[in-house]
Amino acid sequence: MDRRSWLKLSAAFGAAMFGLASGAQAQDTIKVGELNSYKNFAAFLEPYKKGMELAVDEINATGGVLGKKFEIVSRDDTGNTGEAVRLADELMTREKTAFLIGTFPSNVGLAVASYAKEHKALFIAAEPLTDKIVWDQGNKYTFRLRASTYMQTAMLVPDALKLKKKRWAIVYPNYEYGQAATEAFKKLMKEKQPDVEFVVEQAPPLGKIEAGAVVDAIAAAKPDAIFSSLFGGDLAKFVREGETRGLFKGKAVFNLLAGEPEYLDPLKDEAPVGWYVTGYPWYGITTPEHKKFFDAYEKKFKDYPRLGSIVGYSTAMSAAAVIKKAGTLDMEKLVAAMKGLQVETPLGKVTYRTQDHQSTMGAYVGRIGLKDGKGIMTDWHYADGAKFLPSDADVAKMRPAE
């Protein structure tokens, strides 16, 4: 054999051995595809990614899943629906991931849910709060972890009703989540307080609020109370302009998500004291499951967890749990295993409901206070998500048949 022939044979043998090694490595690892809008919503998603990382460490430290290493392959969808669908397909076809998890904005979550339905791929939606993902546009392959827009709105309504305020102003980011929150609040309030009036609505584009103009428009309507679903930078601008112009004086204000550290911490001593909110009082939760999570998170990252940390951790744990329950990566068996799946989370055990694929994860409800120049939640309690869901009969009317 001449030297050239020997080199070709050697190269071919090396390539074959590399292929075998790669195949063996792939067989030793179970990969799940994850996509999210990391650059767009960094305040929430940086802690979210840390929560996922902690969960993966814990899963692999206890033997992985089905005797194999558990891995999450992440991509940044840039908050764009088209890019999210492209990446979902890349994760499933090129990366050969078992199924999909993640997403943050509601419109992106819905786009990936549509992809999951079309391609018959399991999708565990982590953060998108839209009600449509489990109800109006629900499908066989899509499940959702976080308490939905409807659920968190319903958690605030009892306190709103106690105040018996008649004239309400509403302000919301003008996309799926904000629209759904507004619709749910109006519906739930009208059912219990028929004389309620909604005297003004302001719907600025997400991330582009002209807070001064919004505050002036609300003030001109002279409401008794305000319901808001603003978050992030829009919320901060609204709070500052509202305080400067005296909008909130003498008015009850309710705001979804404003008690989450991601959005409350940046306000520091400007936190709007007295607001009714949903959030995450990490500093006061003493349940064993939360303490275990908190201690592990603090030890690993030298930082306290945010709500995103809880969501990332619980999403990864859900992905591992369904694989273990199914005992296989067969897609239809994974989907069947998701129905009724129970998962231990830092907020307690949650169940993915069979009737609509919504998990029973709840949220903390309370009011904003100030301590040491920083916003905190006060008078808070945990609202069990299972208690703030529509009846099975109502779900059946809203959700398409599989």
| 72, part of any domain | yes
Domain boundaries, position 175: 150-285+364-388
Q: What is the pLDDT of residues 159-180, one digit of tens each?
A: 999 999 999 999 999 988 999 9
Locate 239 and state its tokens: 């709070």
Is the domain of 259 the same as that of 381? Answer: yes
Q: What was the pLDDT predicted at 4?
A: 47
Task: Give 349's strand partners.
Answer: 344
| 13, part of any domain | no
| 167, part of any domain | yes
| CATH code for the domain of 42 | 3.40.50.2300
Is the domain of 187 the same as that of 240? Answer: yes
Name, in order, each residue with C-beta under 8 angstroms of 250's C-beta and a sequence gap of 6 or more.
none
CA distance 80 to 95: 21
Is the domain of 181 the same as that of 205? Answer: yes
Find out whether 199 and 169 touch, Cβ atoms under 8 Å: yes
CA distance 203 to 214: 9
Smallest Cα–Cα separation from 31: which of 87, 89, 72? 72
Which SS3 state, helix, strand or coil, does residue 144 take? strand
How many independent structural domains does the chain possess? Answer: 2
Find out whether 125 and 103 touch, Cβ atoms under 8 Å: yes
pTM: 0.90
Q: Give residue for tokens 């992440």.
A: 74
CA distance 319 to 323: 7
Locate 144 and state its tokens: 């959702």
Q: What was the pLDDT predicted at 6?
A: 45
Is the domain of 144 the same as that of 173? Answer: no
Is the domain of 370 the same as that of 351? Answer: no
Is the domain of 137 the same as that of 106? Answer: yes
| 139, part of any domain | yes
Is the domain of 281 the same as that of 369? Answer: yes
Is the domain of 114 the same as that of 65? Answer: yes
Q: What was the pLDDT predicted at 20?
A: 36
Phi-psi region of 172 (alpha: psi -120 to 50; beta: other; left: phi over 0): beta
Residue 11 class from Cβ within 10 Å (0-12 exposed, 13-18 middle, 19+ buried)?
Answer: exposed
| 128, part of any domain | yes
Is the domain of 163 the same as that of 281? Answer: yes
Is the domain of 48 the same as that of 138? Answer: yes
Is the domain of 82 the same as that of 124? Answer: yes
CA distance 108 to 81: 5
Q: What was the pLDDT predicted at 176?
A: 87
Q: What was the pLDDT predicted at 401?
A: 83
Is the domain of 291 the same as that of 175? Answer: no
| 7, part of any domain | no
How far is the CA of 138 from the CAs of 15, 64, 113, 162, 313, in angstroms? 46, 31, 8, 33, 24
Total length of the chain: 402
| 358, part of any domain | yes
Could you say which residues of the chain have pLDDT below 70?
A: 1-26
Q: What was the pLDDT predicted at 7?
A: 42
| 17, part of any domain | no
